[in-house]
Every structure is written in C-alpha cells, then in structure tokens.
C-alpha cells in the first residue's frame, strides 16, 4: 500500500487557563492518502478547527500540542521551529479558510498576493509568476483573469473571492490543503460550485484535502472518507458512503437523522437532545453518553477505544467484541 501523505497519531491540543487545562483535541488519529479528500465533521466545539490549526502550526496562544505526532510525507512536523513551519505553509500545505476576506489583504491586488506567494516558495521570475497567476485564476473559474489580476479583493463577490483563495492555496503546488469551512459563508448554489471546483482541482493536481465542515451534505458530495469528531475525540471514521448510509456511532446516526429528506416528511425533524459538553465539564467515559439513547453502564465508566467494523471504525462500546459490553473491567492496583 502507498504511504499516507499525512499521518496524525494521538494528537492532543490543550489550552492552559487559570482554572485548569482545557483539552480541545483529545487523542485524535487519522491518515490521509495522496489525492484523497478526508472530511472532518461535527458540531461547533467538536475540535475540528483546532485539529486543522495544529497540523498547519497556527494554534492561537496559549493553545499548544501537548502530545501526539504529525508526519507529512514521512517527516515529523509538529516539533519544527516557527521558521521551518513557515516554509512548509504555502509550499507543502495550503489553506482555505471560511471567510476569504480574512485570507486576502485588502490593500494589495489579487495579482500581487498570488505572485508574492509563488515567488516566496518557487523559483520564478516576476513575469513567470504573473503568467502562472493568470492561468490559476482561469483554472478556478475567474472570467477574464488577465484583466482581474490587478483588481482588489473588495471588487470580487464572495464566491469569486473564495475562488481566488483556492487559487492562492494551490499556487505553490502544495501536497495538502486544509479547507476549514470553505463554503459556510456562501449561498447554496455557490457552495456546490466551490465544492465541485475543489474536488476537480485536487484530482488534477493530486493534492490531498482535509475538509473541515459541519455540513454532512458537503461531506457526502465531496469527501472520499469522513472522520466524525465529538468533544475533541474521534467518534467514527470510514468511507463516506458507509458513514452516511450505515453509521455505526449513535452520534453519527443522530447527525444523519437531523438532515431532512425529500421522500419522507415527518411532522418534526429529529434532533439530538442536549448540547456539546463544555471543555471544563467533559463527562467521564464516553463523552456522548449523556445524550446517547443507547448508553449503558460501561459508557459512563470507561472511554471506548476505536473498534474496527470494516469498512468503518467507531469509538462506541456497542461495537466492542462479544462480552466486552457487560460491565467495566476491573482495574489492577498500581
């Protein structure tokens, strides 16, 4: 088998505060293969964005990687100095964020921002960088790209700005793109165009994508595999078809049940009772057990590991090997 492009193992992101240490990401592990789109989905506060920020080295202080490893093409990057990480960002890892206005400098033209990024990471002359910028703008669907190259961000619509950000993420031919809610601020028709564009470009450039979103519809249309996060922990991971149509974890079942369908119109939409637990009051055992309709004693007492149930895996005691669900195992004295 091919080696994963990105390998994350037991990632733990913490935020020290006056009242104690808050754990935003707690033991998350996954791989992304070259050219693959891995969707990361969950409610607000699940740890999606913090996972992406940790990979790209943009955690806001006092956040830090407390433990775990991150390997990009076999190289460990979670311990690199800020200067070395800066060389990786843009060149080997690109980023697309939710609001394109936060990614684009309003004082510089689109062309300047594209050419400056390319010349920072690639050995190109000003003329070569400008030609490549025009080609990229055309590739992402900007009409009359040569004329728009000298326009400013405010002269583009929201959908066009997001296309520019995608071109900016791709301009140095990165191996991985982290797309954090890239379609949330756009209307539905533009969302479909952007997700289709992202999927096509990644196939053509053989670029892997970590797609962070709360929208299962975007995941179903775009991702190859999906990882479901809850309370900073990995609840389920597997091929998108299996997770969407045959979910294993009760939380994933709840997320899918919340999506309205065209063939069945119940009087009320399903909802998951309760809310995401606070980082200051994370429940013992399985973090989802206070909201889970299938919870039993072991769910309250012990945190479940990830159980394989091909083609997916779920961190749920319902999928433990036979006999493991009966009661919490006895702990030996140290």
Q: What is the mean pLDDT of the chain?
A: 90
CA 227-246-1 angle, to 5 degrees, is 55
Q: Which pairing describes strands 176-180 and 93-96: parallel, antiparallel, or unpaired?
A: parallel
pLDDT in tens, 6-18: 999 999 999 999 9
- CB neighbourhood size of 88 (10 A): 19
φ and ψ at residue 71, rounded to 5 degrees: -115, 130
Assign 68 to helix, strand or coil. strand
Decide: 124 and 118 in contact? Cβ < 8 Å: yes
| Model pTM score | 0.90
DSSP class per residue in 254-319: HHHHTS--SS---SS----SS-PPPGGGPPSSSTTGGG-TT--HHHHHS---PEEETTEEE--GGG
> What pLDDT score was predicted for residue 329?
38
pLDDT in tens, 28-79: 999 999 999 999 999 999 999 999 999 999 999 999 999 999 999 999 999 9
- Residues 6 or more apart whose Cβ sits within 8 Å of residue 143: none
- CB neighbourhood size of 288 (10 A): 26
Structural tokens at position 266: 């119940």
Domains defined for the chain, CATH in brackets: 1-34+43-86+215-286+306-334 (3.40.50.300)
DSSP state of 89: B
> What pLDDT score was predicted for residue 330?
36
Residue 331 C-alpha from the chain's centroid: 36
pLDDT in tens, 172-223: 989 999 999 888 777 787 788 888 888 888 888 888 999 999 888 889 889 9
Distance in Å from the first CA to the final CA of the chain: 41
> What pLDDT score was predicted for residue 267?
74
pLDDT band at residue 155 using 50, 70 and 90 as cut-offs: very high
Alpha helices in the chain (DSSP H): 48-56, 82-88, 100-103, 110-121, 126-139, 145-148, 158-170, 188-205, 216-222, 240-245, 250-257, 297-301
* Neighbour-count burial of 237, counting CB atoms closer than 10 A to its CB (0-12 exposed, 13-18 middle, 19+ buried): buried
> What pLDDT score was predicted for residue 1?
63
> What pLDDT score was predicted for residue 217?
83
């Amino acid at each position: 088998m091919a080696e994963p492009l990105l390998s994350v193992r037991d990632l733990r992101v913490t935020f020290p505060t006056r009242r104690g240490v808050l754990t935003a990401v707690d033991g998350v592990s996954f791989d992304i293969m070259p050219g693959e789109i891995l969707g990361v989905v969950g409610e607000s506060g699940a740890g999606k964005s913090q996972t992406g920020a940790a990979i790209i080295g943009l955690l806001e202080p006092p956040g830090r990687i407390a433990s775990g490893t991150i390997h990009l093409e076999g190289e460990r990057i979670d311990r690199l100095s800020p200067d070395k990480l800066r060389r990786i960002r843009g060149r080997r890892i690109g980023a697309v964020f939710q609001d394109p206005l936060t990614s684009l400098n309003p004082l510089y033209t689109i062309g300047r921002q594209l050419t400056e990024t390319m010349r920072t990471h690639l050995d190109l002359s000003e003329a070569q960088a400008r030609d490549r910028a025009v080609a990229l703008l055309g590739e992402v669907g900007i009409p009359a790209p040569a004329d728009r190259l000298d326009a400013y961000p405010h002269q583009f619509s929201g959908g066009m700005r997001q296309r520019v950000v995608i071109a900016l993420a791709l301009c140095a031919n990165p191996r991985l793109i982290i797309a954090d809610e890239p379609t949330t601020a756009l209307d539905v028709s533009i969302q479909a165009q952007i997700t289709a564009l992202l999927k096509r470009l990644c196939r053509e450039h053989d670029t892997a994508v970590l797609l962070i979103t709360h929208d299962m519809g975007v995941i179903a249309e775009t991702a190859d595999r999906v990882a479901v996060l809850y309370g900073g922990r990995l609840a389920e991971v597997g091929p998108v078809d299996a997770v969407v149509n045959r979910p294993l974890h009760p939380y994933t079942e709840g997320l899918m049940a919340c999506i309205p369908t065209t063939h069945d119109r119940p009087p009320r939409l399903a909802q998951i009772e309760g809310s995401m637990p606070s980082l200051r009051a994370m429940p013992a055992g399985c973090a989802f057990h206070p909201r889970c309709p299938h919870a039993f004693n072991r769910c309250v007492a012990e945190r479940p590991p990830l159980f394989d149930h091909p083609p997916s895996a779920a961190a749920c005691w319902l999928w433990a090997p036979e006999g493991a669900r009966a009661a919490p195992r006895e702990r030996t004295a140290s």
